[in-house]
Amino acid sequence: MTNHLSYFECHYQPGCFWVLSAEIDVAVQLLLKLKTDYKHLTGQDYKAGCPPPENVVNQDNGAATDGIDEEDNVDPWNVSTSNAKGVDYDKLIVRFGSSKIETELVDRIEKVTGQKPHRFLRRGIFFSHRDMHQVLDAYEKNKSFYLYTGRGPSSEAMHVGHLIPFIFTKWLQDVFDIPLVIQLTDDEKYLWKDLAIEECHRFAVENAKDIIACGFDVNKTFIFSDFDYMGSSPEFYRNVVKIQKHVTYNQVKGIFGFTDSDCIGKISFPAIQAAPSFSNSFPQIFGGRKDVQCLIPCAIDQDPYFRMTRDVAPRIGYPKPALLHSSFFPALQGAQTKMSASDANSSIFLTDTPKQIKNKINKHAFSGGKDTIEEHRKFGGNPDVDVSFMYLTFFLDDDEQLEKIKQDYSSGALLTGELKKILIETLQPMIAQHQERRKQVTEETVKQFMTPRPLNFKL
Ligand code: TRP
């Protein structure tokens, strides 16, 4: 791939890869090809964000008909690529029909909030969006919005990658001063995994503690387990059924790749993940208003759910949710895949000790360095594929320091062991502080966050 995007390159700084016109040209060409392929296949014009009509193979699913390389595969359950730098995010933007987060949008967020943009925005870690300009237009006219994000509680163990959307959502909550709902899809995990209902529900409560430890404001945040909240809220369930009535089996099959042997719980689940995008699913918060705009920060693999949501929204009289998409957090072994909570060595867990952090990084973090010190000094390392460097782009806030590390590593002045040491010394205190904050989260605190109640905000 010649048009590969270095998504960890700081796009907020001059000289970044994001604004190279050659890349934009390639993306535009791909988009054009996608559109013509689509028209050729369906006889209809391509419309971004709309699932194709029934009886047509869906383009958005990355199915074999999309006319683009088969290198990357992204849906909510599978993420893989054969490219060492990771998934090609420019290609995903084209394929999903979303918009790139350009410097202009980052600048605008800075202007509207009066705050320095979060490093995830400065560095293009949140790289794609839908309708964010519209949200800002409304916000500037004093029309506020709410945030919605979530997590599938598949185990007790969360790793640092799981924190990305929550760290960013916490920042959004602070700078915009708005309410937030967090869905814990214990039902989804029960349907997809070989787990008992009680286990999934327990994982939801345990994960809620790690989420709370990110620092959310209890007066502005409602965290809910689907098993608990769905069963207690008529308004939420009504929305689920409304959505179910307006999406066909053919459509979800196209979007999610369901087959005839998937249980019907899976087939109807997307409606449950869609429902929190509509404000009247939470009458205790929004007093029955159905028109409060929703903004969803999430990893790009969740986009299929929200393409479906945005497609049904106008048909059931609700505003479409806006989205901010993040790239994936790479596994220690390399950027080809997302981290897996079931492989202890693929990631740094929130429960790891300083020693475990050090050992894992030293032993398992894929290196872009050369085989010998002599060669490394002579030719330099490759930060684009180096997982320690990638992790620093996520967690080291100082732009200048990061840039210097990049230059020194590329020139060979900085050795792999030294780079790893910087990462270890960044993560050890960060994880220790997280553990300290999590310890402060009592059962009582969890109950507070998870009780349906009014929140404190002005719309
Ligand atoms: N399906 C998501 C997961 O498995 C959980 C989820 C539910 C979610 N609602 C969401 C994630 C909204 C992001 C935004 O992790």
DSSP-assigned beta bridge partners for residue 73: 80
Cα of 287 from ligand 1 centre, angstroms:
24
Query: 3-class secondary structure for 179-202?
Result: CEEEEECHHHHHHHCCCCHHHHHH
pLDDT attached to residue 92: 75
Phi-psi region of 415 (alpha: psi -120 to 50; beta: other; left: phi over 0): beta
Cα of 225 from ligand 1 centre, angstroms:
12
Q: Give the model's confidence band at 44: pLDDT under 50 very low, under 70 low, under 90 confident, else very high.
A: low
Give the percent of the chain with pLDDT over 90.
Answer: 75
Nearest CA to ligand 1 atom 11: 150
Rg of the chain over Cα atoms, rounded to whole angstroms, equals: 22
| 139/108 Cα distance (integer angstroms) | 12
* Residue, of 21 and 264, whose pLDDT is higher: 264
Cα of 297 from ligand 1 centre, angstroms:
10
Give the percent of the chain with pLDDT over 70.
Answer: 80
Q: Give the model's confidence band at 437: pLDDT under 50 very low, under 70 low, under 90 confident, else very high.
A: very high
Whether the full predicted model's pTM is greater than 0.75, yes or no, is yes
Alpha-carbon distances of 291 from 243, 285, 294, 317, rounded to whole Å: 16, 13, 9, 9
pLDDT attached to residue 39: 59
pLDDT tens readout for residues 164-193: 999 999 999 999 999 999 999 999 999 999
Cα of 260 from ligand 1 centre, angstroms:
24
Nearest CA to ligand 1 atom 1: 152
| 367/386 Cα distance (integer angstroms) | 5
Mutation pick for ligand 1 pocket among 273, 303, 309 (CB with most ligand atoms within 8 Å): 273
Considering the chain, what is the average pLDDT of its residues? 87
pLDDT attached to residue 57: 35
Alpha-carbon distances of 363 from 333, 342, 346, 386, 421, rounded to whole Å: 10, 18, 11, 14, 12
pLDDT attached to residue 459: 80
* Residue, of 288 and 388, whose pLDDT is higher: 388
Q: Give the model's confidence band at 76: pLDDT under 50 very low, under 70 low, under 90 confident, else very high.
A: low
Cα of 391 from ligand 1 centre, angstroms:
22
Q: Give the model's confidence band at 74: pLDDT under 50 very low, under 70 low, under 90 confident, else very high.
A: low
pLDDT attached to residue 458: 85
pLDDT attached to residue 341: 64
Q: Give the model's confidence band at 38: pLDDT under 50 very low, under 70 low, under 90 confident, else very high.
A: low
Nearest CA to ligand 1 atom 3: 152
DSSP single-letter state for residue 255: H
pLDDT tens readout for residues 95-112: 778 999 999 999 999 999
Mutation pick for ligand 1 pocket among 149, 162, 195 (CB with most ligand atoms within 8 Å): 149
Q: Is the pLDDT of residue 46 over 80?
A: no
Mutation pick for ligand 1 pocket among 151, 239, 301 (CB with most ligand atoms within 8 Å): 151
Cα of 187 from ligand 1 centre, angstroms:
12
pLDDT attached to residue 32: 58
Cα of 375 from ligand 1 centre, angstroms:
45
Which parts of 226-314 are beta strand (E)?
A: 293-299
Token pair in block for residue 280: 């009247």
pLDDT attached to residue 93: 81
pLDDT attached to residue 337: 58
Nearest CA to ligand 1 atom 10: 150
Q: Give the model's confidence band at 25: pLDDT under 50 very low, under 70 low, under 90 confident, else very high.
A: very low
Q: Give the model's confidence band at 78: pLDDT under 50 very low, under 70 low, under 90 confident, else very high.
A: low
For range 303-307, the mean pLDDT: 96
* Residue, of 184 and 51, whose pLDDT is higher: 184
- Protein residues whose CB sits closer than 6 Å to any atom of ligand 1: 148-152, 183, 185, 188, 273, 296, 298, 302
* Residue, of 335 and 25, whose pLDDT is higher: 335
pLDDT attached to residue 384: 94
Nearest CA to ligand 1 atom 9: 150
pLDDT attached to residue 371: 95
pLDDT tens readout for residues 190-238: 999 999 999 999 999 999 999 999 999 999 999 999 999 998 999 999 9
Q: Is the pLDDT of residue 53 over 50?
A: no
pLDDT attached to residue 49: 45
Helices (H), 365-415: 373-379, 387-395, 399-411
Cα of 262 from ligand 1 centre, angstroms:
20
